[in-house]
Structure 1
Amino acid sequence: MSHDSLPQGDDKPWYRHPYLWLAMLLPASAVVAGLVTLYIAIVNADSPVVDEWYKEGRGINRSMEQEHLAARLGIGLELSQVGAGIQARLVSETAIPLPENITVTLRHPTLADRDTTIELFQVDSNHYRADGVLPADGRRKATVTASGGHWRLYQTVITGDGTLQLGHVPAS
């Protein structure tokens, strides 16, 4: 058998064969898509709503006791947007000393960057004031705690109309 009878292949270099490039196209596109997905995941990373979820889960019994105490005392809070500030009225069905400061935390259910914390300061017996604005329309998990930390109000509220009521607030 002579060398002339063997099938002669193309004398083109490997990179000039179109079927080779076609076969490499699918794996190459998967690598590019993976890198694009990785970039999107890093740039648009979601922050956890609660960073220390384990500690917060363990503290649920303590917070439930604080919520039951607030219910037994008949504590309620009414927040309203007045101009560029927030006014609040704290009421209690039981005669208790009212705190000097109240912290109201309005947490968005899924987006941590939409969470709002309002620090209210006492201006007279049961009225409080803070600078800032109440959040726009939306559902929030509202938590109200006193500076002493003995009681706590926790409730889901709908924001947007400029007023919020938590707990039992009788008409004034």
Structure 2
Amino acid sequence: MSKPWYKQFWPWFLMSLPFSVIIAMIITLIIADSYGDNPMVVDNYYKKGRGINAEVEKVLAAQQLGIELTFAQRAREFTIRFNKGQPEQLTALTVSFYHATQAEKDFSQVLTADAQGVFRGQLPVTAEQGKFTITVVPYTRAWRLSQTISLPVKEIILRPLTYGV
């Protein structure tokens, strides 16, 4: 006499294959849901590309004006001053710090000059060290200066990128 089907090996083995696929799919969905979308992927790359071209024009304007800044850091305080290309009237500067790999460490500050023409700001605790891209833009948005540095740094000269003028 043969055994009933539910006491045999092969039906259970054959049913385990689709069930294992279902379990793997559930695990994959849980992982995909927990990590979400990748913020490094740009949805509208054409629009982003046009924006990059506009930014290149601002970098070229900084080159033509001969702008050169000194960035100095002491503990959490930093200063920025013009070495070359200082405008007649000092407007506020927007200084943005973009961390190389951790977007949650990015921050931006609007700084005004003191009587000596020095712009002063404070670094948050999360930005005391690490690799950052510093971007400096005046209130008028006429030019843009950007450079990658590693904090902490005692003093560094910020110059516009060279794009073949």
**Structure 1 Cα separation of the partners of residues 105 and 144 of structure 2:** 22
State the one-letter code of the partner of 1:142: I
The TM-score normalised by the length of structure 1 is 0.73
When residues 32 and 152 of structure 1 are mapped into structure 2, their CA distance, relative to the original with a 3 A threshold, is same
State the one-letter code of the partner of 1:32: I
When residues 143 and 119 of structure 1 are mapped into structure 2, their CA distance, relative to the original with a 3 A threshold, is same
Which deviates further from its counterpart, 72-81 or 112-121?
112-121
When residues 118 and 135 of structure 1 are mapped into structure 2, their CA distance, relative to the original with a 3 A threshold, is farther
The match for 2:76 is: 84
**Structure 1 Cα separation of the partners of residues 138 and 72 of structure 2:** 18
C-alpha contact (below 8 Å) 1:49/1:109 kept by paired residues:
no
Cα deviation code 1:73-128 (max 9, x no counterpart): 111222222233222213333653221x2122232345432323233232234211
Q: Does 1:161 align with 2:152?
A: yes
C-alpha contact (below 8 Å) 2:77/2:120 kept by paired residues:
yes
When residues 67 and 96 of structure 1 are mapped into structure 2, their CA distance, relative to the original with a 3 A threshold, is farther
**Structure 2 Cα separation of the partners of residues 30 and 164 of structure 1:** 56
Structure 1 residue 49: deviation in Å?
3.6
SS state of the match for residue 59, structure 1? Answer: helix
The match for 2:61 is: 69
C-alpha contact (below 8 Å) 1:103/1:145 kept by paired residues:
yes
Please identify runs of 4+ aligned residues in structure 1 that moved more than 6 A.
none
C-alpha contact (below 8 Å) 1:116/1:135 kept by paired residues:
no
Pick from 118, 129, 141: which aligns with 2:120? 129
C-alpha contact (below 8 Å) 1:143/1:152 kept by paired residues:
yes
State the one-letter code of the partner of 1:45: G
Residues matched between the structures, number: 156
Q: Structure 2 unaligned segments of length 5 or more: list them.
A: 161-165
State the one-letter code of the partner of 2:113: Q
C-alpha contact (below 8 Å) 1:145/1:153 kept by paired residues:
yes
Structure 1 residue 129: deviation in Å?
1.1
The match for 1:118 is: 109
Structure 1 residue 50: deviation in Å?
7.1
Structure 1 residue 45: deviation in Å?
2.6
% same residue? 30
The alignment yields a C-alpha RMSD, in angstroms, of: 2.7
Structure 1 residue 53: deviation in Å?
4.6
C-alpha contact (below 8 Å) 1:103/1:146 kept by paired residues:
yes
Question: Rg larger in 1 or in 2?
Answer: 1
When residues 53 and 136 of structure 1 are mapped into structure 2, their CA distance, relative to the original with a 3 A threshold, is farther
